[in-house]
Structure 1
């Protein structure tokens, strides 16, 4: 029996996908982008690796498509027939291939030739040719699928290169290990206004070293987990192997006594030429003493192999997602709003560097959610950065949303980070009890206080509270520095135009 999934795996091993990956890596535009930054090179390789795994999974499912699945079932039935059954039904089998299989024309020629039908190796030859035809059709379908995915990959890669050129200078802000990897979210096409907006908050974060240090501390905390050895459950893998078999008729290796009329020596039919010897023929048939060709060949069989995978004992528990809950009330307007947006943008890049999800939950009179680490993460980030802070403060709503989210398996070992002035009432005891229960499941609750007047009882709910409320003089210095940087950037842009 042929397993269609195993067929798909066999075809993948032909190396077509790996050849496409190698071709990508030697394209001049991609080489230039990779050489511009070690972080971009690493992210590019990671993207190609994910693409390879995704395409391998897609092409392995091709044998299960209806156009191939039906033909594979017919082939399986044909090889399980006896020689006599096959000869009787070969015309019906061939008719069933019309319009659905590329093997039909060849099969029709074999059936129409009476010499083929009389051969004892007819079934074996017919099915071997059929198997090769199925294999070739599957390969062509896989190659077409890979080519289609390749074109989409190229479009995406070139778009990322264009976006990275637009973001030149942004990736040089802060610690390269955490803030330099914009490649993963560079699939979106940006306007000049978008780029200027990102430059502003990138420079703002750079000029607030303590704010940047807090963001980096948050990124490190989830990584400080005890090592664990992970032993994956035992599982079985199917492997297609070829074995020597007397039932296969690839080669004739001798003569032996049997009752197989399909492998009968011509000399044995001489008994039927004389009525008085005919009974001898039937006696030899009943006693399995007719001289037959002895044949040997290779048969394809599937074997199940049990395997167990043990991950390295030094592997760390992978940190969960970031949830940034940002207070967008009217009291956060001005400098606190800029701090919150710059901090969120910096933490988003840390999440990308650590391969973690990052979502922003804006809360005031309503809850608005932004997914910052999706394919269109930059567009989501820009939508968030353009949001105007105005309204009231409802901490209970954000806590209820966070509790519901962190209770799911997807958000195990997650970090909830609340950015606010914490000028709000203390949450009810019921909510505090639920929060304490979540803390026991490796979830961490952080707060960044952007005001001197926060409610201490409210801040006691969190595991960690960072205070960030620089003086008016410190803010003025930052504003002056940002203005100079903006003028310098505009001057450089005009110089490039000329």
Structure 2
């Protein structure tokens, strides 16, 4: 069976042009134009993905096989092209009959052309084959569209879902072009069974708590990127004038011994005229002892050389990722729970804007893990925000897992944030020692976000910085009064 790509080449059909037409029609859709006008930061991320769609659709077309009917008709067309005029007209009626048997769309047109073929000459043959080629091109183009129709409809459906998700979450998660690209990438993949209402609700809640959002900004951007001095070696060309011996010397500088016969003294030539001394001449020649003129002369020539130039470059290292430990005990329920989740959403926004990873650990009696900046970050965030806070507080187990994660290469420069009311049991001395070791030797920073004024000081003293957000009723009323 002949491949579709082979027929395309022989008919000069470009599947890329067909795909390009589909994409142009898609981009011209009013819905998409309005969306990108409203959210221009997402357009850059969308444009980067178009190339991948083209390659995927082209691969599908090139790997497809041609249906038997089109293959048989194309074989018949090739035979007719290669036939001479006489044989072509002898076989014309048979060709038309075969077109009828193949149910070819060209059959009716071929029959009409044959009926007008009173002058069976080269012009008629060219017209017949030209019309036949056009019919085959239409069939192959229609086949193209039918092959990618299912993929195209699925692509449109996914695109609509992603546009809806991105437009809903953009106000809460997108800060710059980088974060819009992250959001677009995270919405790729299977259609989400659950909608993003939970994310939107917590985004709106965060907007109503400006002090909580400000706290997240201060914590997230409190660490200034470290800088390192790096030796940067570059090579540059430069030109110098060098002196070399001339091919044609300018003056006599003296006499010395050599085997240069051209510059040999006349007295040495005498040895060749005396039979008894001829052997002596050859000896001096072989031993380079002939007396010869020493000539002097040189020229100056430009020469290109390369030299290394080392410079010290001050390079800023990027900020590390976030590891956020969230207390989900019963004492963190209600308003505390809302604030903790909204705070994590604010850190996620910062992480996406700064190209940092954000990893969440929920702890009560067990530890649950979520990576919000992964390729499935949206579904991970929905699962995280859907969790209910209940149970006890096992802060030690969570911190132990965090220390283990800091030993992994991907998280070796992470910032650790603990969100809790810190109403918990005392930490083991061995764990405190491990945390202090991370702080001193590896410069890890451990932040505490205290959501209660009743937290135990002995626990919080191990942290580099304690950020306080009192969720008590009195503080909530004061914040609302100041906002009003």
Residue in structure 2 matched with residue 185 of structure 1 by the alignment? 186
Q: How does 1:63-142 map to 2 (within 5 A)?
A: none
Q: How does 1:291-330 map to 2 (within 5 A)?
A: 313=313, 315-330=315-330
Alpha-carbon shift at residue 220 of structure 1 (Å): 1.8
Instruction: Judge which range, 457-466 or 171-180, deviates more.
Output: 171-180
Residue in structure 2 matched with residue 117 of structure 1 by the alignment? none
Distance 2:229 2:343 in 1: 32
Residue in structure 2 matched with residue 37 of structure 1 by the alignment? 39
In structure 2, relative to structure 1, the CA distance for the partners of 1:332 and 1:162 (3 Å cut) is same
Q: Kindly provide the CA deviation profile for residues 246-270 of structure 1, in whole angstroms up to 9, marking residues without a partner as x.
A: xxxxxxxxxxxxxxxxxxxxxxxxx
TM-score by length of 2: 0.52
Alpha-carbon shift at residue 154 of structure 1 (Å): 6.5
1:383 aligns with 2:383: yes
Residue in structure 1 matched with residue 446 of structure 2 by the alignment? 445
1:172 aligns with 2:171: yes
In structure 2, relative to structure 1, the CA distance for the partners of 1:23 and 1:228 (3 Å cut) is farther
Alpha-carbon shift at residue 382 of structure 1 (Å): 1.3
Distance 2:429 2:171 in 1: 46
Q: How does 1:387-466 map to 2 (within 5 A)?
A: 387-439=387-439, 440-466=441-467
1:338 aligns with 2:342: no
Bigger Rg, structure 1 or 2 = 2
Alpha-carbon shift at residue 333 of structure 1 (Å): 1.0
In structure 2, relative to structure 1, the CA distance for the partners of 1:351 and 1:42 (3 Å cut) is farther
In structure 2, relative to structure 1, the CA distance for the partners of 1:433 and 1:471 (3 Å cut) is closer
Alpha-carbon shift at residue 449 of structure 1 (Å): 0.4
TM-score by length of 1: 0.50
Alpha-carbon shift at residue 432 of structure 1 (Å): 2.0
Distance 2:469 2:340 in 1: 10
Alpha-carbon shift at residue 427 of structure 1 (Å): 1.9
RMSD: 4.6
Is residue 419–residue 449 contact of structure 1 (8 Å, CA) maintained in 2? yes
Distance 1:429 1:375 in 2: 38
Distance 1:48 1:354 in 2: 25
In structure 2, relative to structure 1, the CA distance for the partners of 1:173 and 1:230 (3 Å cut) is farther
Alpha-carbon shift at residue 381 of structure 1 (Å): 1.0
In structure 2, relative to structure 1, the CA distance for the partners of 1:429 and 1:374 (3 Å cut) is same
1:204 is paired with a residue of what secondary structure?
A: helix
Is residue 223–residue 319 contact of structure 1 (8 Å, CA) maintained in 2? yes
Alpha-carbon shift at residue 364 of structure 1 (Å): 0.5
In structure 2, relative to structure 1, the CA distance for the partners of 1:335 and 1:480 (3 Å cut) is farther
Q: Kindly provide the CA deviation profile for residues 155-197 of structure 1, in whole angstroms up to 9, marking residues without a partner as x.
A: 65443113224x1xx5334883499744343336457x84432
Is residue 359–residue 371 contact of structure 1 (8 Å, CA) maintained in 2? yes
2:339 is paired with a residue of what secondary structure?
A: helix
2:316 is paired with a residue of what secondary structure?
A: coil
Distance 1:34 1:230 in 2: 44
In structure 2, relative to structure 1, the CA distance for the partners of 1:438 and 1:157 (3 Å cut) is farther
Distance 1:468 1:183 in 2: 32
In structure 2, relative to structure 1, the CA distance for the partners of 1:189 and 1:343 (3 Å cut) is farther
Distance 2:312 2:33 in 1: 33
Alpha-carbon shift at residue 338 of structure 1 (Å): 0.8
1:362 is paired with a residue of what secondary structure?
A: strand
Distance 1:223 1:48 in 2: 36
Alpha-carbon shift at residue 438 of structure 1 (Å): 2.2
Alpha-carbon shift at residue 405 of structure 1 (Å): 0.5
2:342 is paired with a residue of what secondary structure?
A: helix
Distance 2:316 2:33 in 1: 32
Residue in structure 2 matched with residue 350 of structure 1 by the alignment? 350
In structure 2, relative to structure 1, the CA distance for the partners of 1:456 and 1:378 (3 Å cut) is same
Q: Kindly provide the CA deviation profile for residues 109-163 of structure 1, in whole angstroms up to 9, marking residues without a partner as x.
A: xxxxxxxxxxxxxxxxxxxxxxxxxxxxxxxxxxxxxx99x96877654431132
Please list every run of 5 or more consecutive structure 1 residues that lacks an aligned counterpart in the other structure. 1-15, 60-146, 233-309, 483-498
Q: Kindly provide the CA deviation profile for residues 353-403 of structure 1, in whole angstroms up to 9, marking residues without a partner as x.
A: 222221211000011111212222122111111111111111111111011
Alpha-carbon shift at residue 199 of structure 1 (Å): 2.5
Distance 1:40 1:388 in 2: 33
Q: Kindly provide the CA deviation profile for residues 405-458 of structure 1, in whole angstroms up to 9, marking residues without a partner as x.
A: 111111122111110011123322221222223233343211100010111121
In structure 2, relative to structure 1, the CA distance for the partners of 1:161 and 1:451 (3 Å cut) is same
Instruction: Judge which range, 171-180 or 441-450, deviates more.
Output: 171-180
Is residue 178–residue 216 contact of structure 1 (8 Å, CA) maintained in 2? no
Is residue 417–residue 448 contact of structure 1 (8 Å, CA) maintained in 2? yes
